[in-house]
Structure 1
Amino acid sequence: MTSFDSILARAQQRKGGADALTALLPSPPNPQYLQQLGDDRILAEMSKRVFCAGFSWKVIEAKWPEFETAFLGFNPDSLAFQPNEFWDALFANPRIVRNAAKILSVRDNASFVREIAKEHGSFGQFLSA
């Protein structure tokens, strides 16, 4: 496996040096903004990135309101306790992308978000630390 330092050095060389590479990177998010994000919005954004991976982001964006409805507004507390039948129904829902692995990642990530939020007060608090 290639080390991170090796990857970083290659990126710096390709982009014209460390400063040039740094200039291309996004600014770190504002910690106060992160603290105010609801766990549902964090789970929604995580899920959107999962569904966009390897798929047309334009299709995901166009269908996103249906994702919000199908996934109960991405409320981690609601999703973490849904029975298998709920998830099975999503596999057949034509209003969203019916990729079982991606759908189940929402269930797993809902549990993850809940665990972190329980430990830190909210997932946003965790991200801002």
Structure 2
Amino acid sequence: MDQISGVQQYHQLFGTKVYDADTAFEFLTIAVFQAGMSWKVAASKIPVFKQVFANFDYHKIAMFDEPDLEAIESNSNMIQNGRKIRSVLQNAKAAVQLEPEFNNLADYFWSFKPDKSEEGDRDTIGAVVAKDMKKRGFEFVGPTTMGLLLVGMGIIERRPNA
């Protein structure tokens, strides 16, 4: 992990088919922190996110308490945004609540896989996903970032020149 930067990890993973629940939560966490900043800034923090967010195991994160959150917020290597840090906890709780309706978070995201006729409309699908996620208690999940998350997980094909 230390030999490859977070940006390189993200770049290599982006667009591959992701079925692993923890990797799906990793994409979601990056999306949360990406809001309002460059994806490269958020992706550069993947090693820190892995450390402070239980290697993206959302079942463990859902159990975090106030002292855990305060420790993360005081970590000088973290992106210093308490609302986003706390939203990761909320999103972990919401992800756990998806079960048993879905096997896991990755299965939930794959349930939005469009048929071939809808494939190119990332923004529309992203809006549908974001609306459903907000209804289920997720935070910092806008249409654009959810559309990109679906591309990143290989659920939607990349646009040419994208």
Supply the distance in 2 between the matched residues of 1:85 and 1:39 (Cα, whole angstroms).
26
Structure 1: distance between partners of 2:39 and 2:96: 27
Match of 2:58 among 67, 73, 76: 76
Alignment gaps of 5+ in structure 2: 1-14, 112-162
1:98 equivalent in alignment to 2:113: no
Q: Distance in 2 between matches of 1:118 and 1:92?
A: 35
- RMSD (CA atoms): 1.9
Identity of aligned residues (%): 26
* Per-residue deviation, residues 81-104 of structure 1 (Å, max 9, x unmatched): 112100011111111102000001
1:114 matched to 2:96? yes
Query: Is 1:66 matched up with 2:48?
Result: yes
CA offsets, 1:47-72, max 9 Å, x none? 10110111233222222211111111
Distance 1:91 1:126, change over 3 A: same
TM-score normalised by length of structure 2: 0.54
Paired residue type of 2:27: E
Specify the alignment match of 1:20 in structure 2: none
Alignment of 1:1-129 (within 5 A): 33=17, 37-129=19-111
AA of the residue aligned to 1:61: A
Cα deviation for residue 126 of structure 1 reads 2.4
Distance 1:77 1:69 in 2: 15
Count of residue correspondences: 97
**Aligned equivalents of 2:104, 2:44: Cα separation in 1:** 29
- Normalized per residue, the structure richer in helix is 1
Q: Is the 8 A contact 2:25 2:105 kept in 1?
A: no
Give the Cα–Cα distance (whole angstroms) in 1 for the partners of residues 72 and 89 of structure 2.
11
The normalised TM-score by structure 1 is 0.67
Instruction: Give the unaligned 5+ runs of structure 1.
Output: 1-28
Secondary structure of 1:82 counterpart:
coil
